[in-house]
């Protein structure tokens, strides 16, 4: 595979920014079909173990080619929502047997859901802080300190402030010495970032995300001191204060 011919300039690394020529939110057919099938599974029309209509039938129902249906099913299959059996059909899988955790962005904006996810993330952040205090290395402390120093410079901006906060938390998670914590917390941080930005725009919310350097400084000091209890308390306080600033009651 000779693959470095792509121009990174075409930068799809920012998938949230549709290009003008693509009519905004108009989705490709294969994605629409996947979404519609997924909705009927969520709605209970197809229960675990149920067989979906054949590809041929779905192609007729949706008035698309069978290729489009196959690609849509490939998406659902990748998520473990369905499993295909050659010669038989595609079958709905039990939710707990799915292969991935996915947080729906629209669902996250619904009442109470941001709070719930905050609650879950909080438990993991606090755990990560405690572990980081026990396991951090010198280079990791330097990395956290670097992330902390970025927060001084970003103080007057909004998006960059959130990003600096996420970077700090990522550095702490990395010091926890648990790769799954890194993966989970990174994912959760970014999902919440997108939602906070969206809710802010949608509601014309003018709240400035105040960066409280002191809270982060306190976490850093507890990590430096290698004191897990202090680290957990500092993180708990920080998360609690952050929730308050977003009018989320924990």
Kindly list the residues in this chain that would bind DNA in the complex (CB under 7 A): 7, 9-10, 19, 21-23, 28-30, 52, 54-57, 63-68, 70-71, 73, 84-90
Paired tokens of 51: 């067989």
Query: Restricting to residues 19-58, which ones interact with a second copy according to CB under 8 A?
Result: 19, 22, 28, 30, 34, 40, 45-46, 48-53
How near is the Cβ of 204 to a second copy at its closest, in Å? 26
Rank residues 74 and 213 by Cβ distance to a second copy and give the closer one.
74
DSSP, collapsed to helix, strand or coil, labels residue 89 as: strand
Residue with tokens 């001191």: 225
**Gap between the Cα atoms of 211 and 238, Å rounded:** 11
Q: Count CB neighbours of 232 within 10 A.
A: 21
62 vs 187 by CB, closer to DNA: 62
Handedness of CA 179, 182, 185, 189 (dihedral sign): negative
Closest to DNA by CB, 77 or 134 = 77
Among 65, 116, 137, 247, the residue binding a second copy under the rule CB under 8 A is 116
Report the alpha-carbon distance of residue 180 to residue 98 in Å, rounded. Answer: 18
Stretch touching a second copy by CB under 8 A, among 74-82, 200-208, 214-222, 234-242: 74-82
Q: Pull the structure tokens for residue 153.
A: 């410079």
79 binds a second copy (CB under 8 A): yes
Provide the minimum distance between the beta carbon of 89 and a second copy in the complex, in angstroms, as a whole number. 6
Q: Which residue's CB is nearer to a second copy, number 19 or number 156? A: 19
Question: Is 67 among the residues that bind a second copy (CB under 8 A)?
Answer: yes
In sequence order, the 6+-apart residues with CB closer than 8 A to the CB of 103 are 117, 187, 188, 191
Tell me the three state secondary structure of residue 200.
Answer: helix
From 89, 135, 150, 158, residue interacting with a second copy (rule: CB under 8 A): 89
d(CA 5, CA 25): 29
Nearer to a second copy, 101 or 214 (CB): 101
């Amino acid at each position: 595979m000779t693959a470095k011919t792509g121009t990174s300039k075409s930068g799809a690394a920012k998938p949230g920014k549709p290009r003008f020529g693509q009519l905004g939110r108009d989705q490709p057919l294969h994605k629409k079909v996947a979404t519609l099938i997924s909705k009927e599974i969520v709605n209970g029309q197809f229960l675990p173990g149920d067989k979906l209509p054949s590809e041929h039938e779905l192609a007729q129902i949706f008035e698309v080619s069978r290729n489009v249906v196959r690609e849509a099913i490939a998406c659902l299959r990748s998520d473990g929502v369905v499993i295909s059996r050659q010669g038989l059909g595609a079958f709905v899988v039990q939710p707990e047997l799915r292969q991935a955790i996915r947080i729906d962005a629209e669902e996250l904006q619904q009442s109470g859901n941001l709070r719930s996810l905050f609650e879950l993330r909080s438990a993991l952040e606090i755990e990560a802080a405690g572990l980081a205090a026990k396991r951090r290395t010198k280079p990791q402390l330097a990395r956290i300190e670097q992330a902390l120093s970025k927060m001084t410079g970003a103080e007057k901006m909004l998006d960059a402030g959130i990003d600096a906060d996420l970077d700090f938390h990522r550095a702490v998670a990395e010091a926890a010495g648990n790769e799954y914590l890194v993966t989970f917390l990174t994912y959760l941080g970014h999902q919440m970032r997108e939602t906070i930005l969206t809710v802010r725009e949608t509601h014309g919310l003018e709240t400035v995300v105040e960066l409280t350097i002191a809270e982060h400084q306190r976490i850093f000091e507890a990590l430096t001191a290698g004191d897990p209890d202090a680290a957990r308390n500092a993180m708990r306080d920080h998360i609690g204060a952050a929730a308050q600033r977003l009018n989320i009651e924990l």
